[in-house]
Amino acid sequence: VSNAGVGMAGPLECQSLAAMQSLMDTNFFGLVRLVKEVLPDMKRRRGGHIVVISSIMGLQGIVFNDIYSASKFAVEGFCESLVVQALRFNVAISLVEPGPVMTEFETKLYEEAERADYSRTDPETAEIFTNLYLRNSKDVFASLGQTPEDIAEHTLRVIEAARPPFRHQTNAAYTPLAALKHADPSGALVTDAFYKLVFKYDAVLRLGLR
């Protein structure tokens, strides 16, 4: 089970390249290093199961999570490419894709975001992040967040499955995200939906969550 991960949220201009590279080294290359170690022996034994804790943000990018989403998209692409070869050797690969999870990981991330310096971006972007994104995120976590125990139970079911799924989303509330994206390959539908949620109907969104 590959579960190591770090987060990053905020305006792109305010994030250093070094911090981005460090995140990718953990979230993506950490997984790659682990798989390189375990896969050869699994192939020799013609049996094994690699379970990767991904994220719904590996399927759909979320505003102000550009680099974190990129790392999870990389994880998804890596596993999607590898799974066909792995199946030839009777090795299963499963992606567990949670939405928001209520842990110290997220609490620390948002506390740091509230204290951060946003002078390197324009005032409008800083305002959108601090007064729209952070506020809405707290409501999302309070309403839709899962516990670590819940994610563990989902992961256990994937591990114990007779035919392990390649993808397993843990939160049904996020299924429409993937559905919207597949319904319109041009991306216009999901982009328009997110734009309206963030900039036009954020008050309705928060009310609905509450």
Q: Which domains are assigned to the chain?
A: 12-206 (3.40.50.720)
Task: Please tell me the predicted confidence (pLDDT) of residue 204.
Answer: 62
Task: Please tell me the predicted confidence (pLDDT) of residue 59.
Answer: 93
pLDDT at residue 209 greater than cutoff 60? no
One-letter identity of residue 184: D
Tokens of 113: 């975001």
pLDDT tens figures, 63-88 = 999 999 999 999 999 999 999 999 99
> Model confidence at 23, in pLDDT bands (50, 70, 90)?
very high
> Model confidence at 207, in pLDDT bands (50, 70, 90)?
low
> Would you list the DSSP string of 127-147?
HIIIIIIHHHHHHHHHHH-B-
pLDDT, greater one: 202 or 74: 74
> At 10, is the secondary structure helix, strand, or coil?
coil
Report, as residue numbers or ranges, the catalytic residues.
68
pLDDT, greater one: 34 or 139: 34
